[in-house]
Amino acid sequence: MDLLTNPIKDYPWGSRTAIAELTGRPASGPEAEMWLGAHPAASSRLTRDGAEITLADAVAADPVGTLGEAVAGRFGQRLPYLMKVIAVDAPLSLQVHPDADQAAAGHARGDANYTDPWHKPELVCALTPFTGLAGFRPPEQASMLVERLHVNALQPVVAALRDGDVLAALRALLEWPGSRRELVESVVWAASACHTPDYALVVRLARRYPEDPAVLAPLLMRRHTLAPGEALFLGAGVLHCYLDGLAVEIMACSDNVLRAGLTGKHIDVEELLRITDAAAQPLAVEPVGGAYVPPVPEFLLRRVESGAVEVLPGGLPRIVLCTEGVVNVRTASGSEVKLRSGESVFADASEGPAEIGGDGVAFCAQPQI
């Protein structure tokens, strides 16, 4: 087993305290994501023979020994999942992820939106109360919420929703032909008089993005609030935006993201609308025997409660992260590691069965094979 050093992304929507407190170290600015995995853009690091190397390099040096024959045979010479800790202090971008065919085709044609040739389904499991927008509301409900603003300029949006076409309504906002600032100002004025959470969120978003009509997304989309331990799976085509909270996230090892707004990063409205599935909704995932099992083979996530002991079969590459207290990880090869909050370890397929337990909480990532 190898202790991991994990890169932290300092995106502006990140928290200045959450990841720092989890890992027991100070933060100098916003910290949005801690990546645990072997994605080439930000691989975890470990020490082998006295030298620090990336986990990606360790996998490349011995794919079958590290991943196991079944995983290497199905996914090639790469760790198929990426785990993250995400600390959302301000709303993320309004975004969507491609399916496998879309990702492969986009990458093959050299589209800069597709940095990887793989899809990016993801599952988020809350560590604290966690809130996000995901999937569209029924168009008649969205129409009612937009109409209640009484902003005449929004009639094209209302008309599209009355026709049942939520993507046309979204396009009308994202490709707004007039003054975007004037529209947002009118929306804020109207929304401030509507004392419900959906309109309050519109105002909150507008304070951060005063020239982005995507601030109206809360009226078109469903809001989801997760209690600690609850999980949500987002497949391809699900429009979403996380709003606040701390969570463990696991996904296929891909960084393909199409953004529509609420961000300073690259936006490609046309491509996002092309791959967004108006009918796609997130899926609540209940743990079965402590495991959150999504409908994709690249990953599953196991939560080990304080005082519990989990014995897991060998032959699979696993990352174990402690999020609370102290957790012991032992493998059949004789390796043993004690993890404290924020610490993690990689156990490759050759380590054999693993035992995880202690007076803390751990999350274990692995492929489903």
- The string of pLDDT tens digits covering residues 34-93 is 999 999 999 999 998 889 999 999 999 999 999 999 999 999 999 999 999 999 999 999
364 phi and psi angles, rounded to 5 deg: -120, 125
**Per-residue pLDDT at 256:** 98
pLDDT at residue 144 above 90?
yes
**Per-residue pLDDT at 369:** 83
- pTM recorded for the entire structure: 0.96
> Rounded distance, CA 214 to CA 173, Å?
7
- 259 is an active site residue: yes
Which of 100, 73, 34 lies closest to 250 in space, CA to CA? 34
- Render pLDDT for 77-129 as a digit per residue (tens, 0 to 9): 999 999 999 999 999 999 999 999 999 999 999 999 999 999 999 999 999 99
Average pLDDT, the chain: 97
If you average pLDDT over residues 296-308, what whole number do you get? 97
pLDDT bin (cut points 50, 70, 90) of residue 28 is: confident
- Render pLDDT for 218-256 as a digit per residue (tens, 0 to 9): 999 999 999 999 999 999 999 999 999 999 999 999 999
Q: Which listed residue (78, 137, 259, 330) is catalytic?
A: 259
Q: Is the dihedral of CA 305, 311, 312, 317 positive or negative?
A: positive
Structure tokens at 323: 């999020």
Mention every residue, 6+ apart, whose C-beta is less than 8 A from residue 45: 4, 5, 6, 52, 53, 54, 55
